[in-house]
Amino acid sequence: MNKKVLSILLAASVTLLSACNKDDDSKIKVAINTGPDQTLWDTVKQVAHDKYHLDVDVVAFNDYVQPNEALFNKDVDANAFQSLPYLEMQSKERGYHFAVITNTFVFPIAGYSRKIKSLDALPDGATITISNEATTLGRSLLLLQAQGLIKVKPEAGLLPTTLDVTDNPKKLKFVEVDTPQLARTLDDPQVYVSIINNNFAALANLSASRDGMFMEGKASPYVNAIVAREDNKDSPNIQKLKEAFRSQEVLDKANEIYKGDIIKGW
């Protein structure tokens, strides 16, 4: 092979590698939860592409463990599914070193029933289903406390358990259930109320403001966030993702999808 041909091949290889690197540099992978968020992220992807020349690949999971594991293992570059208290708890338990890129929304949890229209009709000894995931469980108990149904130990903070219930005048029974299954318990003859997360309620065609007997308010500390790792939090693509999410187009789409059930967090 003469030197001229070799030089041409080397130049072509460098050009090809540069093109590949440029292509890779314009992509980012984000883990989310299944549900209406998938539709919202279609808008995020469009804004990111049109305004920031960023291609967003979205991976949806049906639980609250895999998105953080995927981020930790560098299978994704960011995730957007969890509240700040949940992030704090998971970081302590699993040793994650993640960084909050931006708050997104408060997705209010609410109490639903197919047997009663108001808590005035809730009988003594009634069964209430709540999430068995620690953060959502605590969030549910605090919501029930806000309705005057129970009292929990103040020192339990944002993570009370049923063992922290100090007053239960109606002798309510609490059954802990996998979060994605909560909506199904509404058809159980023994269940009077279920406290359900916004995204899983939406999958069952339930709206907190329309169908819930009671729901969290604007003062809720359970704002969700886009999260990255400490080692990539300052990357240009992460910053572009933040700006795309905080666009007016995404806010408008979120209000359309969630029909007023969201509270802007940034």
| 39-97: pLDDT as tens digits | 999 999 999 999 999 999 999 999 999 999 999 999 999 999 999 999 999 999 999 99
Listed in sequence order, the residues at least 6 apart from 224 whose beta carbon sits closer than 8 Å to its beta carbon are: 80, 81, 82, 83, 84, 103, 104, 105, 106, 107, 265
Residue 35: predicted pLDDT: 86
> What count of Cα atoms within 13 Å lies in the side-chain half-sphere of residue 48?
26
Which among 84, 107, 57, 43 has a CA at the least distance from the CA of 244?
A: 43
Convert 173-207 into a string of H (helix), E (strand) and C (coil). EEEEECHHHHHHHHHCCCEEEEEECHHHHHHCCCC
d(CA 121, CA 248): 42
Average pLDDT of every residue of the chain = 91
Which pLDDT value is given to residue 261?
84
pLDDT in tens, 11-50: 444 444 444 444 458 999 999 999 889 999 999 999 999 9
Answer with the residue of higher pLDDT: 81 or 217: 81
With b for 16 or more beta-carbon neighbours within 10 A and e for fewer, the 168-186 pattern comes to: eeeebebebbebbebbebb
pLDDT tens track for 155-185? 999 999 999 999 999 999 999 999 999 999 9
Q: 1 falls in which pLDDT band (50, 70, 90)?
A: low
Q: Ramachandran region of residue 225, left (φ > 0), alpha (ψ -120 to 50) or beta?
A: beta
Using N-to-C axis directions, what is the helix angle for 236-245 and 37-52, rounded to 10°? Answer: 120
Q: What per-residue confidence (pLDDT) applies to 250?
A: 98
Per-position DSSP letters for the chain, written without gaps between them = --HHHHHHHHHHHHHHHHHHHHHHHTEEEEEEESSTHHHHHHHHHHHHHHHH--EEEEEEESSSSHHHHHHHTTSSSEEEEEEHHHHHHHHHHH---EEEEEEEEE---EEE-SS-SSGGGPPTT-EEEEESSHHHHHHHHHHHHHTTS-EE-GGGTT---GGGEEE-TT--EEEEE-GGGGGGGGGSTTEEEEEE-HHHHHHTT--HHHH-SEE--TT-S-EEEEEEETTTTTSHHHHHHHHHHTSHHHHHHHHHHHTT--EE--
Say yes or no to pLDDT of 10 above 50. Answer: no
Residues 125/172, Cβ–Cβ less than 8 Å: yes
pLDDT surpassing 50 at residue 197: yes
Residue 106: band (very low, low, confident or very high) from pLDDT cuts 50, 70, 90: very high
What is the predicted pLDDT for the residue at 24? 57
Residue 199 has pLDDT above 70, yes or no: yes
